[in-house]
Amino acid sequence: MIVHSDVISMETHKNCFVCDGDLSSADCKKVILLSTLSRYTRTGLPAKIGQLMGDGFMVVVTASDLVCFNCVDLINQMDKLEFDLKRIQRTVSGLLHKKYGLSDGKFISSDYFQGVFFKVF
Ligand SMILES: [Zn+2]
């Protein structure tokens, strides 16, 4: 559900899309927002920013929008944490499914969880 909608964009391509840092210097390391993928999930940076901001915001980018290396690094750190969390969740979930013979929607219990029931959706 969209509570409110704000537009995130920038009018000049001389500043970082994320932190607004000055990127006009030739030796300033930067990437083109639209053509850069995150390091771990290979997701486009506009999509990563959109996921971060949620449904309440609409992220509008242009072909000339840039992101500084520092912000790309932060997005990649976030991407790695999300990637690792999903991998660990799959592993733990797989172990629980295997140990308790789970299938979707099945109630289970065990000696470890006496009186506690899990419902898998
Ligand atoms: Zn930046």
Q: Which residues pair with 67 in a beta bridge?
A: 31
In angstroms, the CA 49 to CA 96 distance is 33
Q: Kindly give the distance from the C-alpha atom of residue 62 to the centroid of ligand 1, in angstroms, as a whole number.
A: 16
In angstroms, the CA 5 to CA 69 distance is 28
The pLDDT value recorded for residue 27 is 87
Look at the block and give the residue holding tokens 């299938």: 103
The pLDDT value recorded for residue 2 is 37
Q: Kindly give the distance from the C-alpha atom of residue 43 to the centroid of ligand 1, in angstroms, as a whole number.
A: 18
The pLDDT value recorded for residue 88 is 96
pLDDT over threshold 80, residue 46: yes
Asked if 89 and 103 touch (Cβ cutoff 8 Å), the reply is no
Q: Kindly give the distance from the C-alpha atom of residue 102 to the centroid of ligand 1, in angstroms, as a whole number.
A: 45
pLDDT tens-place string over residues 50-108: 999 999 998 899 999 999 999 999 999 999 999 999 999 999 999 988 888 887 666 55
Residue spans of the domains in the chain: they are 6-119
Q: Kindly give the distance from the C-alpha atom of residue 66 to the centroid of ligand 1, in angstroms, as a whole number.
A: 9
Other Cβ atoms closer than 10 A to 23: 20
Query: pTM value?
Result: 0.73
